[in-house]
Amino acid sequence: PACSARLSAASVAQFLTSQTLQKTTGHSHGIASRQARTLSSTSPRLTVSKMSVEAAKALAGAAAVNNHVTAATKVVGVGSGSTIVYAVQRLAERVREEGLQVRCIPTSFQARQLIMQHGLVLGDLEIDTRIDVTIDGCDEADKDLTLIKGGGGCQTQEKIVAAYSDTFIVIADYRKDSVKLGQAWKYVPIEVIPMAYRQVMARLEEQMGGKGELRMAKAKAGPVVTDNGNLIVDWYWDQAREMNWMEVNTTIQCMAGVVETGLFVGMADKAYFGQEDGSVVDRDRN
């Protein structure tokens, strides 16, 4: 059976007192009808009006690992981004404490480094053709668990690993939980072959409206270059238009020069959203 999703008050307190934590300024987009599970312990209850964003991420990451990694789990896909750090930390703890025998499939250079830094066994898709569960973050999730990913430029490898997993679990803080896409995130990242980026941007605007922008790097001159050696076009869609995201995703994927989109439609099985009040909202795909 899956372990219950719980963190001790002391663990949460560590996140709240760390000098590296961000102060919470966002608000929750959670739907009232969803059931929230409060994370409790036998320790005295933590009296905190609002948890930090980082603590909320940690709660979601721990919940996913506790509920979806068992003694029978052999291969785990490890996502990319800031939230996955906490899931990897929790996974490493359970491997040490319970002697779990798992191999981890990375979705990026960052994920590979996380796996090795925590002493976990690095796997490979050529050897581990079947992935039991993949845990990854998102930039935004709507009520149907349609996702936007790719804020970190890793969506192609993330989508490959998620697509070849038996179960795909999403983890995020409360800011990423929306009723519809566009409430928290305004663009869809698209990985493109370098020679075609101008043509792809023009085609996007002609066929789909909105505006495409080549993502520029902040710590180097020139554009962001993905782990695959490609470029990222961020498509800011027309927020006034109603979107059928399955059709949008297919249309963009069929454009010559497009490698992959950051739209994950009908892929996520379940999501965990860490809340400001110390609870975790979990939601299954409709």
Under 8 Å between Cβ of 214 and 232:
yes
* pLDDT tens figures, 168-199: 999 999 999 999 999 999 999 999 999 999 99
* pLDDT tens figures, 72-87: 999 999 999 999 999 9
Radius of gyration of the chain (CA): 19
- Of 54, 140, 158, 260, which one is the catalytic site residue? 158
Quick one: pLDDT at residue 245?
A: 98
| CA gap 58, 67 in Å, rounded | 14
Average pLDDT of the residues in 32-38? 37
Instruction: Give how far the C-alpha of residue 193 lies from the chain's centroid of Cα atoms, to the nearest Å.
Output: 24
Quick one: pLDDT at residue 286?
A: 81
**pLDDT value at 8 more than 80:** no
How does DSSP classify residue 105?
A: E
Parallel/antiparallel/unpaired status of strands 140-141 and 165-173: unpaired
Note if 213 is an active site residue: no
Sign of CA dihedral 72, 74, 75, 80: positive
Tokens of 182: 């566009």
In this prediction, what percent of the chain has a pLDDT beyond 70? 83
Which residues, 6+ apart, have CB-to-CB distance to 212 below 8 Å? 190, 200, 201, 202, 204, 205, 233, 234, 235, 236
Under 8 Å between Cβ of 141 and 245:
no
SS3 letters across 113-143: HHHHHCCCEECCCCCCCCEEEEEECCCEECC
Residue recorded with tokens 């969803």: 34
**pLDDT value at 157 more than 70:** yes
The pTM assigned to this predicted structure is 0.84
Instruction: Give how far the C-alpha of residue 51 lies from the chain's centroid of Cα atoms, to the nearest Å.
Output: 20
Under 8 Å between Cβ of 57 and 90:
no
**pLDDT value at 134 more than 90:** yes
Under 8 Å between Cβ of 236 and 186:
yes
| CA gap 270, 49 in Å, rounded | 27
